[in-house]
């Protein structure tokens, strides 16, 4: 069955424009020839709007969906908790959905997004093609907000990722480290780019070398971080410290050092992103930069509800409370090797 994305592609316009034209939005401003091109494209691809779903959405069912990639990720768990609290406070139920399944299975997508059972969608992307497909299709059907990332035509709420990465790197610099590596996030996400920028800005501002040989994709899992950090530590010119752009990659970095008989933090200082519950219980405890994850979930729901009330898409960056360093046992002052 043809979807609204197919209509947009055929007409050469955005999904949002197609949705507003086909739904008869009186506020949409398009040229008459563009309007006709959209209707012609809809006929050509045999697109049929789900009018029952549209009627249900106007009636407000009181349900929001939050689509993530891995509900077991402790970072996502904190965001979900904040979103759940905000949704409940406004009288809404929050349901969880799996992004890869929505992208892979048309029936799942239809059941969650196109059936009219949800009033709006929150999408926490991982920077893969599935995110783009789900966001593009869903945005033409229900109000959609991107969580901790951005999209030009959609509302979004992000953390101050660049400032946090800069702060984490400056913590290592303040301990006397000059040779500092980076485990980047996987995928093409703005939050990943922002964290890389923060590391690079801190290094260049301090007049320190940016060694690309010490930059690896550390991903979102401990095993990915372990593998990536291992390739760096196997070099003759290894760094004395590393900033991991995810907390699980930081856990993997510590494991990679131990695999090679290195002491953390004496031989390698490690700092990660997000103060998840288990960070304090590791041995040694994990030094992290803390960001307001529950506030991210809460603010995302608030923005989605504003969109439901016919608001315009906004791009919000949460700067309060600001990032802060939680110092534990995986970072220490640089000590030159004994000669």
Do 113 and 182 reside in the same domain of the chain? no
Do 263 and 180 reside in the same domain of the chain? yes
Do 179 and 276 reside in the same domain of the chain? yes
Q: How far apart are CA 176 and CA 267, in angstroms?
A: 13
Phi/psi-derived region of residue 217, left when phi > 0, alpha when psi is between -120 and 50, beta in every other case: beta
Q: Helices 222-233 & 247-259, crossing angle to 10 degrees? A: 50
Task: Compute the half-sphere exposure of residue 286: CA atoms within 13 Å on the CB side of its CA.
Answer: 27
Q: Residue 88: its pLDDT value, please? A: 93
Do 249 and 303 reside in the same domain of the chain? no
Identify the domain containing residue 6 by its residue range.
1-46
pLDDT digits (tens, 9 = 90+) for 304-336: 998 888 777 888 999 999 999 999 999 999 998
Do 216 and 255 reside in the same domain of the chain? yes
Q: Residue 27: its pLDDT value, please? A: 55
- When pLDDT is averaged across residues 63-73 and rounded to a whole number, the result is 85
Q: Are 182 and 214 in contact (CB under 8 A)?
A: yes
Do 81 and 142 reside in the same domain of the chain? yes
| Terminal-to-terminal C-alpha distance of the chain | 71
Q: Residue 23: its pLDDT value, please? A: 65
Cα–chain-centroid distance for residue 176?
A: 31
Do 280 and 210 reside in the same domain of the chain? yes
The answer to whether residue 315 is domain-embedded is no
pLDDT digits (tens, 9 = 90+) for 194-213: 999 999 999 999 999 999 99
pLDDT digits (tens, 9 = 90+) for 69-106: 877 888 988 999 999 999 999 999 999 887 776 666 66
The answer to whether residue 221 is domain-embedded is yes
Q: How far apart are CA 178 and CA 172, in angstroms?
A: 8
CATH number at 36 reads: 1.10.260.40
For residues 107 and 191, the model is more confident at 191
Do 301 and 272 reside in the same domain of the chain? no
The answer to whether residue 228 is domain-embedded is yes
Residue 51 has pLDDT above 50, yes or no: no
Q: How far apart are CA 252 and CA 245, in angstroms?
A: 12
Do 181 and 140 reside in the same domain of the chain? no
pTM of the model as a whole: 0.80
pLDDT digits (tens, 9 = 90+) for 243-294: 999 999 999 999 999 999 999 999 999 999 999 999 999 999 999 999 999 9
- When pLDDT is averaged across residues 118-136 and rounded to a whole number, the result is 76
Q: Are 144 and 138 in contact (CB under 8 A)?
A: yes
């Amino acid at each position: 069955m043809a979807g609204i994305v197919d209509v947009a592609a055929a007409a050469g316009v955005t999904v949002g424009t197609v949705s507003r034209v086909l739904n008869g939005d009186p506020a949409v401003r398009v040229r008459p020839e563009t309007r006709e091109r959209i209707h012609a494209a809809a006929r050509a691809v045999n697109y049929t709007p789900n009018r029952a779903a549209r009627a249900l959405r106007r009636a407000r069912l009181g349900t929001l969906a939050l689509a993530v990639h891995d509900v077991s990720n402790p970072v996502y768990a904190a965001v979900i908790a904040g979103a759940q609290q905000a949704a409940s406070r406004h009288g809404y139920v929050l349901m969880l959905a799996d992004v890869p399944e929505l992208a892979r299975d048309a029936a799942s997508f239809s059941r969650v997004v196109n059936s009219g059972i949800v009033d709006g969608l929150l999408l926490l992307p991982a920077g893969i093609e599935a995110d783009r497909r789900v966001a593009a299709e869903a945005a033409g059907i229900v109000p959609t907000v991107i969580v901790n990332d951005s999209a030009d035509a959609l509302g979004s709420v992000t953390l101050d990722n660049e400032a946090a990465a800069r702060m984490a790197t400056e913590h290592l610099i303040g301990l006397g480290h000059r040779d500092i590596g980076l485990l980047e996030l996987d995928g093409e996400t703005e939050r990943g780019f922002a964290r890389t920028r923060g590391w690079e800005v801190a290094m260049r501002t301090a007049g320190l070398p940016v060694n690309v040989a010490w930059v690896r994709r550390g991903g979102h899992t401990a095993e990915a971080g372990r593998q990536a950090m291992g390739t760096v530590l196997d070099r003759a010119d290894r760094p004395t410290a590393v900033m991991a752009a995810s907390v699980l990659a930081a856990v993997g970095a510590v494991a990679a050092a131990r695999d090679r008989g290195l002491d953390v933090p004496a031989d390698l200082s490690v700092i990660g992103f997000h103060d998840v519950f288990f960070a304090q219980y590791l041995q040694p405890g994990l030094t992290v930069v803390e960001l307001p994850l529950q506030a991210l979930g809460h603010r995302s729901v608030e923005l989605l509800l504003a969109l439901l009330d016919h608001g315009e898409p906004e791009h919000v960056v949460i700067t309060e409370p600001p990032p802060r360093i939680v110092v534990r046992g995986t970072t220490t002052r640089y000590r030159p090797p004994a000669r």
